[in-house]
Chains A and B, each alone.
Chain A
């Protein structure tokens, strides 16, 4: 009874790929921005904070449209990336990953920033007296201690990416096999006669994926947390 058709599988696989890529590509940027916001005072900090959070409060369609006019074929950044590096976003799964990454970014940054702020900075100072330069302090003390928060941020970003709909469909449309994610496929199935069963199957898949991501993150965070207190 619960058999996914090839088309449905493709949507699931595509969604997973897009979400994983979005999360891991966003991660280094998320770490950098979270670190800047948590540790540094600089001119324009409030502005950066605002821009990072914008996708959280803007209608997703607006974010998608902004992506379209900047990263689309004719957009300033999009044209440059296409001509120089051959990276094309419009109507490709890479564009869907970009949209999902942008939408998940504020959630990721928030979680990581909070965990950076919670770290006892005196441990970082101790590391520097022991000869660690700022980069090593970050990778050997700050990052490992922030790990539970970093994982939480990644899961939030992943979950957001998995469920992203508005920005993605506005930016890269709804092309089966290329940009039709799980959410877009469910939407499509609900729009065609007799699509209910397929939509329902994908809904179950979406619930299972979301739950699995939550449980996995709990497990990772618990393991990371345990390391500070023993075993």
Chain B
């Protein structure tokens, strides 16, 4: 279980959120610019909150009072970014194995094989990221994050940069990932449709605050008015 209670000032914008996740896949849902990426950056350790506490189960990752701030590289939180961020100077196989080399986790070759099969990237192993399509790149990014055996997966708008067809191609892989890899996920998106397919818990973020926490019913309005979520009645 992930519990987050953090505050961070970023120029004139500030983020102050408190929530706990219980479900396998939790959505951080809200419009662009509402602070979702800052929140996942703080969970992942890439951005330091001004105040608060972040804990994964019993493991405290950040606690401003106790002066605890576990650096990103020791958190073992896999992150998939919107733009994939594959290392351009490494092959797909080297990208996939990077986390294993760096964090020193040992992974059963059969598990590695399984993840590569599940994401259908076996044929790409010798290529470089520059030669992959957007959808292929994101699949490799998922594999790279999974192969470090993360305790938590942060997916920050992982399909937002893809066109509709590529999105539809990726979403089933994500559903499989959730069901088979059994890693808790935080899924950041402003698209209600994606969240509906993957998540069971929704944390609704608006203006750097938690506007609501609940189940998929929080998406009802967006799912029926997909065109204009900015005019949501509760916001």
Contacts and interface: CB of A to CB of B under 8 A. Distances in A.
Given A131-B99, A136-B102, A228-B130, A126 B79 contact: yes
A130 B89 contact: no
Contact of B77 (A125, A129, A133, A141): A129
A144 to B, nearest CB: 5
Contacts of A230: 128, 130-131
A131 B79 CA distance: 11
B98 A145 contact: no
Contacts of A229: 88, 128, 130
A128 interface: yes
- Scoring A122, A129, A136, A137 by chain B CB atoms within 10 A of each residue's CB, the highest score goes to A129
Interface residues of A, number: 23
A126 B81 contact: yes
A118 to B, nearest CB: 13
A197 interface: no
A122 B81 contact: yes
Contacts of B87: 123, 126-127, 140-141
A144 B128 CA distance: 15
Most buried by B among A120, A123, A144: A123
Contacts of A134: 73
B130 A131 contact: no
Nearest to B99: A130
A227 interface: yes
Contacts of B130: 228-230
Interface residues of B, number: 30
B72 interface: yes
A209 interface: no
Given A122-B81, A123-B85, A141-B87, A128 B131 contact: no
Contact of B89 (A125, A128, A136, A145): A145
A132 B71 CA distance: 10
A63 to B, nearest CB: 37
**Interface hub of A126, A134, A141, A144 (most chain B Cβ within 10 A):** A126
Contact of A129 (B72, B128, B131): B72
A229 B90 CA distance: 10
Contacts of B76: 131
Interface in B72-94: 72-79, 81, 83, 85, 87-89
A120 B81 CA distance: 14
Given A127-B98, A145-B88, A145-B89, A133 B73 contact: yes
A202 B75 CA distance: 60
B64 interface: no
Contacts of B73: 128-134, 137
A95 B145 CA distance: 51
Contacts of B131: 230
Given A129-B44, A131-B103, A136-B102, A228 B79 contact: no
30 contacts: A120-B85, A123-B88, A125-B72, A126-B79, A126-B87, A127-B87, A127-B102, A128-B45, A128-B73, A129-B46, A129-B72, A129-B73, A129-B75, A130-B102, A130-B144, A130-B148, A131-B74, A131-B148, A132-B98, A137-B73, A141-B87, A144-B89, A145-B88, A228-B89, A228-B128, A228-B130, A229-B88, A229-B130, A230-B128, A230-B130
Interface of A: 120, 122-123, 125-134, 136-137, 140-141, 144-145, 227-230
Interface of B: 44-46, 71-79, 81, 83, 85, 87-89, 98-99, 102-105, 128, 130-131, 144-145, 148
6 pairs of A and B residues whose beta carbons are closest in the complex: A131-B103, A130-B99, A126-B85, A132-B102, A131-B102, A228-B88
